[in-house]
Amino acid sequence: MKSFMLKNKYKIFLTIIILASAFLRVYQITSIPPSLYPDEALNANQASEFAFKLFYPENYGREGLFINLISISFLLFGIGLWQLKIVSVFAGTATILGVYLLAKELAKRQNIIKNTELFAVLASLLTAFSFWHISLSRLSFRAVLVPLILSFLFFLLLFAIRKKKTIIFFLAGITFSLGVFSYPAFYPAIILVLYPLFLLYKTSDKKSFAKYLLWFFLPVFISFILFFNYQSQANAFERSSELWVFSSENPIKPFAQNIILTLGQFNIKGDCNPRHNINCLPQLHFIAGLFFVFGIAIVLKNFSSFASSFLLLWLFLFMLPAIFSNEGIPHALRTSGTIIPAYIIASFGFVKLIELLKNKKLGILVLSFAFVFYGAGETKKYFIDFKNSENTKKEFFVQLKKAALIANSYPKDIKIYIVSKGNWTTVKNEPISMQTIYFFAKNKENIMYLNPKNIKDIQDKNSIVIFVQNPNDKEQKTIKNTFKNSKEIKKDDLVIYEIF
């Protein structure tokens, strides 16, 4: 038994890491985050229609893969909150395996470190306990697919190049095709994929190269035809064009700022959006950040190796979606493609330091302590700091979920009016800003949404009026003057008027 465990210690460690990552991504998944952001709820609501589109043009346009995966989950398990979240949980957990496989494959193409198994396991561990990736894996956003698809795409492609197996090139091409319909942060892969293909060109004869290239690009070519010829493709880049940094009058200054801020997101100042981060903390925990810097120095020194140059190119290319945008920089979602190279580079730093230490036992002790501190710190950051932050509750619009649950407590024959100052852009006559209520509400057909200025339009005497934001004096006066017998109730920080 002892010899078996020693022989398979890294596989055992990997299994434990994957199980731990699954736990961190599924634990209290229906209560942390505390509600659904309207964009998440829109994904769920459209998934419940089971349309299975390649592209959803609403809300600036969204690639269809993620929403279609939610539809599959709803078909298998029913429509509900955990059924929605389980898609991201699975994608995030599977990414950990992908990181291990990719790191192990890259380790065969470098001369920096000797212990390649330790290197791959540490890369997966860093990703598994990362706040950045835990948070991403618990949100119902398309961005969670980017690290997953990238890890398996480049593992399969590099594995295929090494083994020269046609079927694996085809599987890599299918994986790339899925990425086309995932999220715009994936698109730099179109450039990055050329580097390993150049490696293939150098290590294959012309006939074999043409054959492998054909099998790889066959599904890729089909996916591009579908994407660009889809009836709603005109909406595909609407949001991206609005966020294009060079659309501003003086783009040079914000472009330069974006470069600095995006480079600094790893160790200095991260995403300030409370849905993605806590208090603008760096995207990398300071321990991972230190070894990331050390790892950068190592791969720069060994730039001639494929693994080093490939990881640096990957890191650079996948910062571009944020650098070329003009909103919310640094941005954890638009740079989600940098998660994998960042932690693999940090793993280089960890392992190289251990190998440089003369006292190996001391090195292992320091490594173990560092990882315990890292894992505990990142776990605390999400499950205590992020959970209890008032900014988190505010940014996830907890009041919308509360309004829906209050509406559910009334009989079906009662008309419910939701009054809100939110965005009134609609999808099938339902405001995008109210999609959270639409998801949680049971009697959707009895709910109407009103802008505060339209309160006077309320006609029903047998109805409930729920204010998402506290009503001002004028709004309260309108209700009371229109319905003399209305009763004001305060519940879960919301103001409600019962009109009977």
What is the residue-wise DSSP string for 384-416?
Answer: IIIHH-HHHHHHTTHHHHHHHHHHHTS-TTSEE
Q: What is the pLDDT of residue 471?
A: 87
Cis peptide bond upstream of 147, omega within 30: no
Distance CA 183, CA 101 (A): 23
Residue-wise pLDDT for 491-500, tens only, equals 888 999 998 7
Question: Left if phi > 0, otherwise alpha if psi is -120 to 50, otherwise beta: which for 489?
Answer: beta
**pTM, two decimal places:** 0.95
**Cβ atoms of residues 43 and 140 within 8 Å:** yes
Q: What is the pLDDT of residue 425?
A: 79
Residue-wise pLDDT for 378-406, tens only, equals 999 999 999 999 999 999 999 999 999 99
What is the amino acid identity at position 182?
Answer: S
Q: What is the pLDDT of residue 231?
A: 46
Q: b/e per residue, 69-97, with b = 16+ CB within 10 A?
A: bbbebbeeeebebebbbbbbbbbbbbbbb
Q: What token pair was written down for 30?
A: 């229906």
What are the pLDDT tens digits along the chain (500 aa)? 667 777 788 999 999 999 999 999 999 999 999 999 999 999 999 999 999 999 998 888 889 999 999 999 999 999 999 999 999 999 999 999 999 999 999 998 888 888 899 999 999 999 999 999 999 999 999 999 999 999 999 999 999 999 999 999 999 999 999 999 999 999 999 999 999 999 999 999 999 999 999 999 999 999 988 887 764 454 555 555 556 666 667 788 888 999 999 999 999 999 999 999 999 999 999 999 999 999 999 999 999 999 999 999 999 999 999 999 888 899 999 999 999 999 999 999 998 888 887 776 777 787 788 889 999 999 999 999 999 999 999 999 999 999 999 999 998 889 999 998 877 778 877 889 999 999 999 888 889 998 888 888 787 778 999 999 888 888 888 888 888 788 889 888 899 999 87
Q: What token pair was written down for 174?
A: 């299918």
One of 3.30.420, 3.40.50, 3.30.70, 3.40.1010 is the CATH number of 398-499, namely 3.40.1010
Q: What token pair was written down for 229?
A: 């010829």
Query: Which residue do the tokens 């760096």 mark?
Result: 282
Domain chopping of the chain, boundaries: 2-389, 398-499
β-pairing verdict for 415-419 and 447-450: parallel
Using CB atoms within 10 Å of the CB of residue 456, give its burial: 0 to 12 exposed, 13 to 18 middle, 19+ buried: exposed
**Cβ atoms of residues 319 and 263 within 8 Å:** yes
